[in-house]
Structure 1
Amino acid sequence: MPNKTNWDLVLARFGEIGLKTTPVRNQFLNRLIENTRYSLKKEKIDNYEVTKTRGRIYIKTNEIQKALRALSYVSGVVSYSPVKKTTSDKQKIIETSTKIAKSYITKNDSFAVETNRVGEHDYNSLDINEELGKRIQNHTNAEVDLDNPDKKICLDIRHNNAYIFKQKIRGLMGLPTGVQGEVVSLFSGGIDSPVAATRLVKRGCYVTPIYIKKGKYSSEEEFERAKIVAEKFSRYIPKQLKLLVIDLEPVFEKINEHGGRNSCLLCKRVMYRAAETVAEEKNYLGIVTGESLGQVASQTLHNLKLLEETTHLPIYRPLIGYDKVETMEVSRKLGLFESSKKDVGECPILPSKVKTRANLKEIKQIEKELDLVESTKKLAKNNKKIVFN
């Protein structure tokens, strides 16, 4: 039996936005619509119309599949569905829904009808569920299963209109990107840092990634990986993304020669300072990292506290409670994993034994002797930009 429906439009739902006060809700909703339009254009959809009602956004286009793909990149969307639109007349709803069900539900399936209704009508949700359910049974011989159906026919009846669909596709959720301001992200292109950056994106932040170039102390493969992953990450940002590249090779050379067992902490602290320098210059509101508590020696609770001391800016660590498997699962869902997992070799500065409880006084003394603070800030101001259109 063919499973083909000519959908009229795409219905998108939002969650947290609806809980805000009216002025904030309007501001966030306008940003969400703006971001949705940006994403539709990125999918090269030329003809579309975006409209809104309370709790819903509607996208009218002939390119439904592209519109669905566009919404998968938009933070603030809880779920979305391709829908068939009709009036709220009960018989119209039943006729249209039955036609969809006949092309979708077979006698070997179980099914359920679900209705969400807003407004005044001469029927209630239970009435239409029962009548439509019987009609579908008569046409398909399928069994009703309200608890665990194989398939569903869903109705969203809102005042004079009804929208009929088969499924809700889960969105990124969160808040519209841009409503919370901008932060920088220490971005290696590995598995952790891009996922961490997207966690801030879905909470309303623009994120500018920073790649720290180590010269001979890293590989060209690592830099290429960072650029590839940054380009993929850019699809989640509803504006032109710039990857900032800071070359700290002279600083890493000093650490390699004199850092000893403190090398990892010294490296991370110079990265924090480089990110802080950029953030302060651009009035950004914090630094995002992919650190997870206890994942490596530099990420013990004690050592993270030493890293915090490096900057007065807030450090956002959205993966702090994640284990690697959880982060990898998110990376796969975002379409980043295959590029992020590329092996680019171990850091050549990594000591054979890393201090898990570094001494702050000792760290600061080394930084002073090697002039790491001022040299890092000077190099960070000379950053270069890679723009992704």
Structure 2
Amino acid sequence: MYQAFLLKYAEIGIKGKNRYKFENALCSQVRRRLDKLEGEFTVTREQGRIFVEAEGDFDFEDAIEAMSRVFGVSSISPVQMIEDKSWENLTKEVGDFIERQYGEEKFTFKVKSRRSDKHYPYTSPEICMEMGAYLLERFPHLSVDVHHPEVYIWVEVREKAYVYAKVYPAACGMPLGTNGKAMLLLSGGIDSPVAGYMIAKRGVFIDAVYFHAPPYTSDRAKQKVIDLAKLISRYTGPIRLHIINFTDIQMYIYEQCPHEELTIIMRRYMMRIAEKIAKETDCLGLITGESIGQVASQTMHSLAATNDVCTLPVYRPLIGFDKQDIVGIAEKIGTYETSILPFEDCCTIFVA
């Protein structure tokens, strides 16, 4: 049973003197996710890595899933910690690890190493070569392939030594809270939840606003949006959802304005209201799920018309995406099946 995990960074590794701020934010987010699980977890950072040590009973799959949704983490590896990192013990422990993991399975491998303890008597290349030779001698049914191995065996020598062979992909991006907060215009469709996810992935906290038009839009439509907010909050952290009763405004527009312009006029009012809430809640911009040309209200002229009523920046992360690209992300983050439930929102009511 694994009792420790090694988390690798995404873009944080290329930061300069302020890198520690991003590392601290990432550690904080990892702790917050793990605090919700059974077991005790200690999160520490050390020279380009985050280490998570677990104590007591915990669910391995739940821990992997929770950490894989933390923006800023590129991969997660369950590791075996080796207290005695003398060469004789290290080779034996790595060999025992391979035996437990793979038994008599036949495969090609390559050893990769990282030696942060510069007092260790072997360099990183020497660890790779000598460890590979030891494993070939101990397991004659294995073979080395340095170009396209079936298994990478990673050995890291720090204050302790660590060995691992499995790498789980994670969310990548930047840690939440390192790039401010923005307001998402959240509908019940496929696009806006994906847009919120993508901006949050850049380290932005998000709030959301939903325009409800009872009795013309149902409580089931509202619940659908609440459910979507909960689904994306698995990645973005807590979302404050502002539900706006839009019925009176929508009826006035329908009665007083040319029907061929209803959608644009309604969207301009939505942007005004969303911006007002955004400014009151310290958001630095608005987020929409618009994509050029996807529907008639998302032409360049239409987008310019809705932009004109805003003073805050409007972020459209899906602007150049094909619909299938957006659907693929929605399926990956688990919002697609909820988004396609057949409950209309106020943008599809009263439109001539």
**TM superposition score normalised by structure 1:** 0.82
Distance 1:161 1:46, change over 3 A: closer
**In the alignment, residue 303 of structure 1 is paired with which amino acid?**
S
What's the CA shift for 1:345? 4.3
CA contact (8 A) 1:189 1:230 kept: no
Question: Hey, what does 2:32 align to over in structure 1?
Answer: 38
- The 1-side partners of 2:66 and 2:20 are apart by 22
Taking only the aligned residue pairs, the percentage that are identical comes to 31
Partner of 1:253: 251
- State the distance in 1 between where 2:112 and 2:271 align: 51
CA pair 229-140 structure 1, distance change in 2 beyond 3 A: farther
CA apart distance, 1:82: 0.9
Length, aligned pairs only: 342
CA contact (8 A) 1:45 1:66 kept: no
The answer on whether the counterparts of 1:195 and 1:331 sit within 8 Å (CA) in structure 2 is: yes
Q: Deviations over 1:282-317 (max 9, x none)?
A: 231110111111111111112111111011110011
Q: Which whole-Å CA distance do the structure 1 matches of 2:279 and 2:124 have between them?
A: 55
Matched residue type, 2:254 = N
Aligned residue number for residue 350 of structure 1: 351
Q: Residues 252 and 148 of structure 1: is their aligned pair in 2 closer, same or farther, counting only changes over 3 Å?
A: same
| Secondary structure of residue in 1 paired with 2:304 | helix
Deviation at 1:29, TM superposition (A): 1.9
1:182 offset after TM fit, Å? 1.3
1:18 matched to which residue of 2? 13
Q: Could you give the per-residue CA deviations for residues 313-332 of structure 1, whole angstroms, max 9, x where no partner exists?
A: 10011111211111122222
Contact 2:259 2:351 in 1 (8 A): no
Alpha-carbon distance between aligned partners in 2 of 1:128 and 1:189, rounded to the nearest angstrom: 54
Which residue of 54, 77, 81 maps to 2:77?
Answer: 81
Q: Go from structure 1 to structure 2 and tell me whether the alpha carbon gap of 1:98 and 1:250 turns closer, same or farther (over 3 Å shift).
A: same
Q: Is the 8 Å Cα contact of residues 11 and 83 (structure 1) preserved in structure 2?
A: yes
- Name the residue aligned to 2:319: 320
Does the CA-based 8 Å contact 1:186-1:193 persist in structure 2? yes
How far apart, CA to CA, are the structure 2 residues paired with 1:84 and 1:140? 23
Instruction: Read off the aligned partner of 1:292 and give its amino acid letter.
Output: S
1:109 maps onto 2:107 in alignment: yes
Q: CA RMSD in A?
A: 2.0
Contact 1:210–1:245 (8 Å) recurs in 2: yes
> Residue type of the partner of 2:226?
K
Counterpart code for 2:30: T
Query: 2:293 and 2:180 mapped to 1: Cα distance?
Result: 30
1:55-108, Cα deviation, whole Å (9 max, x unpaired): 111111143433322212211112221111114433332212211212333444
Task: Tell whether 2:147 aligns with 1:147.
Answer: yes
Q: TM-score, normalised on structure 2? A: 0.90
After superposition, where does 1:220-231 map in structure 2 within 5 Å?
Answer: 220-231=219-230
- Any unmatched runs of 5+ in structure 2? none
3-state DSSP of counterpart to 1:104: helix
Give 5+ residue unaligned stretches, structure 1.
1-5, 352-389
Query: One-letter code of the match for 1:154?
Result: W
Match of 2:50 in 1: 57
